[in-house]
Chains A and B, each alone.
Chain A
Amino acid sequence: MDVGFILSNAIVLACIYGTLAIGLSITWSSVGLINLGYGFIFALSGYGAWLASQYISTNGVVVLTAGVLTGALGGLLVCALAFIPIHDKPNFTVRGLIATLAISLIGTQALLYFFGPRSKNLPDIFGFWKVNVAGIVLTSDKIGNVVVSIVVVTAVLLWMRSSRRGLEIRAMMMNPHAASIVGIGVRKTGFYVMAITGGLAGLAAVLLSQTYYISPFGGLAPMIKGVSIALCGGLGSVRGAVIAAIILGLNEALTARLLGGQYVLITQFLLIILILLVRPRGIAGILDRAREA
């Protein structure tokens, strides 16, 4: 077990979990919903990609697109069930949290019911080749994962920065009330946001399934990783999520190297608790004042 292998692994995982964390973070900051149904969307899009690879084509682009589209669909479903009916009711944040948990319970059990407990695996969408860079062997899936996740997340962030819809979403992040006063529809924007973040979850699901299998409950661990990163970076901040993803990835690599694999979660949570005790809103958390208003 050499350092390069661990480091490259950590970078790959950080990219994928960072994608999830950015999705969670955008959801919370723009529509004010803690989407704990994210694990379900993750698993659902994994199955969507699997179905596409079974019945349409095993071409990498098709599988990836199918996963992203299923994820977006899952996001729309969660939005229609947990955001639209209660977003203007009292106590929305708590009720939304519980509603997404209920969706997660229903959804994962439904997946179990339809697809059975046996896990599925996706074809290698990036082919199978190797590159040797300075003594570190990089396989095709690692390079593909890193490149695709960085490209897609950058594209989403650029889109949010430069397009009309992105402007609407950012306006919602700053102040939902004022945004609705100047004519930005809360429900419409909610659907956009949930579709995009669902698509990010779908992307992460397909990418992660290059390493792990797809199972009904497989979304939980990635979601908890994503939530931890989003928490640590500060809910609502993309930059914070990136920093937190790097820190936690490093921690994972170092712990696995120095202490052993079973201590990864323990050190990770100790680190998160430590960071949150110093900065209760995360590394870059700034948004809560605006959200409370």
Chain B
Amino acid sequence: MTGHIWRNPLYFWGVEGAEKEVPSIPHKSPQDVWDETTASKAKMLPVGRLRYYYKWPGHGGLTWPRFRYWGTRRRALNIRSVYNPKTMRLEKTIVDKRPIWWVLGLLAFMLAPLAMPASFQNTLLTAGATFSIYAAINLCWMLIIGTAGIYSLASYAVVGAAAFGTSWLSINLGLPWWTLPLVGAGVGLVFGMIIAVPAIRLDGFYYALLTIGLNELCRVYALQSKQFGSSTGGLYGADTYIPQGWDQYDQSLLAYYACFGVMLAGLALYRFIDGRRLGRILKMAPEKREAFAEATGVDFRRARIWVFVISSIGLGFIGGFYAAHYRGVSFSIFSFDTVLLGLAMLVIGGIGRAEGAVVGTAIVILLDKVLLSTGPLRLILIGLIMLGVVLFLKGGLFGIKAQFRAWRDKKKSERRSMRAEKGGEMLPEEATETKDKDLLYWRRYDKMQREFLKTVISPELIEEHRKKPLGQHSEPLERLLLYFRRAPQNDKYAIVAVEPFKAYRIVALSGQRGVAPRIVEDKIYTSTDEAYHGVFLRRVQDLLES
């Protein structure tokens, strides 16, 4: 730094008071501050910053005429097709791939009997049939728990009541098998009406506790009554749809596909309630938000009764089918453990989604059947899984993706707020609130400028200014002074003449018309140059402190 010299060009023109050479500092480029500030300091992680979608090629002519279900505007797949402005190509993106997984999964389930090993065939076919029936029950239950958000635990009671009723009718009145589901649907309707009445008045837990009690009531009543077979542990001997003349394998296969059909019907019912008007009404009026729904003109009470009635008819239908499938029904359908296992299926899969109900059922049935030899241990295992899911997951297995994304976004925003530089720049929250976005860029630029000018300030410059406050200066001092002069009027320093040519004093302008400047210090300067230098020193100090 020493020995660096600024040659005054005015000296050679003979300007009064111009020195030939003034000690100064080496040149510093303002570009460095700019480069340093604008460089990205974000840690670039190799994965997980953007969602990846495969881009299918497309042809422009095929963008709009797509396959739609007849009579609706719904498409089989939600495909978004846009032109990429850089490559000028059509890119098709499958936004929602779930229908593909559904079709593949159901196809696999349909073709599974072909691939089953011969030794386990019978077990697996029976397990598959059980799975399908329970999946259908859980889908209907999910309409109440998931879509309507009402914690009813009486769904198995409805199924059991329908199964017991139809079995009794079939045994005593000789009803043929094909009437059983229909009669069961009627029983379910009556039962659904009965359990829907308290649901209008009671909320949440009162209702959950009441339905547990109803379930227990059904169990005790069936256990104690002679006509429901309290001595045999259940009611058996109903008519069945499986021809008794067939051999064992054909019977199992027929049962497998019949139950599969019931599950498909359950899926269709779920789709048609949950995805359409009724489901949307119910989902916008969950517990604790009824007042809002009512204020917007939604009749949620009616919707709740409807969903109870529809799902109870479905449950009753399944109950009738259950009786026709197993040729009867045992008391275990009313037991508390059945309700708990059913709830475990829903919770493990994720409440509020069809895939949750089906996959959760598959997991629990698989554990239940595969580990049958371990006795109570398998139920303990299922309970542990259920507890783990409740404690750690928000939406069951199928909610893991969303939960992970939410967690990652939280972490991202935490890091972003740690990166944000304070002072000069605005905080992220402030930046989104301010109307004048120009202000953001002005502050950022101003901060860079101040940082650069702080590096420039040195004893040489101050000395140079002291000698000659006005006139031509060296390049760094000139930058400094230009910055000071451009400051806004508010709180800008000025000089006031107390007595011309004898006494000057430094004041700060108010920046408002009609408001007098305030006096900054008591010191009296004897000349204008001295006062100019005093202002300069104050400004330098303010700059260094900012």
Q: B217–A265 contact, CB under 8 A?
A: yes
- Evaluate contact between B209 and A265: CB separation under 8 angstroms: no
Could you mark each residue 204-242 of chain A with 1 if its beta carbon is under 8 Å from any beta carbon of chain B, else 0? 000000000000010011001001100100010000000
Question: Is the Cβ of B347 less than 8 Å from the Cβ of A113?
Answer: no
A220 neighbours in B (Cβ, 8 Å): 216, 336
Q: Does A93 contact B (CB under 8 A)?
A: yes
A97 within 8 A of B: yes
Give min CB distance, B242 to chain A, whole Å. Answer: 33
Kindly supply a per-residue 1/0 record for chain A positions 29-71, scoring 1 wherever the CB is within 8 Å of any chain B CB and 0 otherwise: 0000010100000000000000000000000000000000000
Question: Distance in Å from the Cβ of B105 to the closest Cβ of chain A?
Answer: 26
Contact A105 B379 (CB under 8 A): yes
- Report which of A85, A91, A221 forms a contact with B391, defined as CB distance below 8 A: A85
Task: Note all chain B residues with C-beta closer than 8 A to A250.
Answer: none
* A106 close to chain B: CB less than 8 A: yes
Residues of A within 8 A of B336 (CB): 217, 220
Which residues of chain A are near B380, meaning CB under 8 Å?
105-106, 109-110, 113
Q: Which of B208, B220, B337, B344 contacts A102 (CB 8 A)?
A: B344
Interface residue stretch chosen among B9-17, B69-77, B198-206, B530-538: B198-206
Residues of A within 8 A of B216 (CB): 220-221, 224, 265
**Surface stretch bound by B, among A142-150, A166-174, A271-279:** A271-279
Q: Check B387–A103 contact: CB distance below 8 A.
A: yes
Residues of chain A within 8 A (CB-CB) of B383 are 102-103, 105-106, 109
**Which residues of chain B are near A20, meaning CB under 8 Å?**
none
Known: A93-B205, A235-B205. A266 touches B386 (CB 8 A): no
Residue A247 at the B interface, CB < 8 A? no
Please, which residue of chain A has its CB at the minimum distance from the CB of B220? A265
- What residue of chain A has the Cβ atom nearest to residue B203's Cβ? A280
From the candidates B209, B217, B384, B386, name the one contacting A34 in the complex (CB within 8 A): B209
From A103, A269, A280, B202 is in contact (CB under 8 Å) with A280
Of all chain B residues, the one with the shortest Cβ separation from A265 is: B217
A224: B residues at CB distance < 8 A = 212-213, 216
Contact: A272 with B217, CB < 8 Å?
no
In this assembly, does A112 line the interface, its C-beta being within 8 Å of a C-beta of chain B? yes
In this assembly, does A90 line the interface, its C-beta being within 8 Å of a C-beta of chain B? Answer: yes
Residue of A nearest to B340 (CB): A105
Q: How far, in whole Å, are A182 and B446 apart by their CA atoms in the complex?
A: 47
Is A227 a contact partner of B212 (Cβ separation < 8 A)? yes
Q: Is the CB of B343 within 8 A of A113?
A: no
Interface set, chain A 91-114, CB cutoff 8 A to B:
91, 93-95, 97-99, 101-106, 108-110, 112-113
Asked if residues B376 and A98 are in contact (CB atoms below 8 Å), the reply is no
Residue A292 lies at the interface, judged by CB distance under 8 Å to chain B: yes
Number of B positions contacting A (CB below 8 A): 42
CB distance from B217 to the nearest CB of A (A): 5
A85–B390 Cα distance when bound, in Å, is: 10
A277 in contact with B221 (CB, 8 Å): no
Given contacts A102-B383, A276-B201, contact A113 B375 (CB under 8 A): yes
With A85-B391, A113-B377, A235-B205: A102-B386 Cβ-Cβ less than 8 Å: yes
Beta-carbon nearest neighbor of A105 in chain B: B383
Are A277 and B217 interface neighbours, CB within 8 A? no
Q: Which of B213, B221, B340, B344 contacts A227 (CB 8 A)?
A: B213
For the complex, is A132 an interface residue (Cβ under 8 Å from B)?
A: no
What are the residues of chain B within 8 A of A93 when measuring CB–CB?
204-205
Check if B382 sits within 8 Å of A105, measured CB to CB.
Answer: yes
In the complex the two chains form, is B217's CB within 8 Å of A97's CB?
no
| Contact assessment for A34 and B205 in the assembled complex, using a CB-CB cutoff below 8 Å | yes
The yes or no answer to B31 lying at the interface (CB within 8 A) is: no
Contact, CB under 8 Å: B203 / A99: no
Q: By the criterion CB–CB under 8 Å, are B209 and A231 in contact?
A: yes
Cα–Cα, bound, A94→B207 (Å): 12
Given contacts A221-B216, A269-B210, 17 further A-B contacts (CB under 8 A): A94-B151, A95-B391, A97-B151, A98-B347, A98-B386, A105-B379, A106-B380, A109-B376, A109-B379, A112-B376, A265-B216, A266-B221, A273-B197, A276-B206, A277-B201, A280-B203, A281-B206
A-B contact pairs, 19 of them (CB 8 A): A34-B209, A91-B394, A99-B387, A101-B343, A101-B386, A103-B387, A105-B341, A105-B383, A220-B216, A224-B213, A224-B216, A227-B209, A231-B206, A231-B210, A262-B220, A266-B221, A269-B217, A277-B198, A292-B288
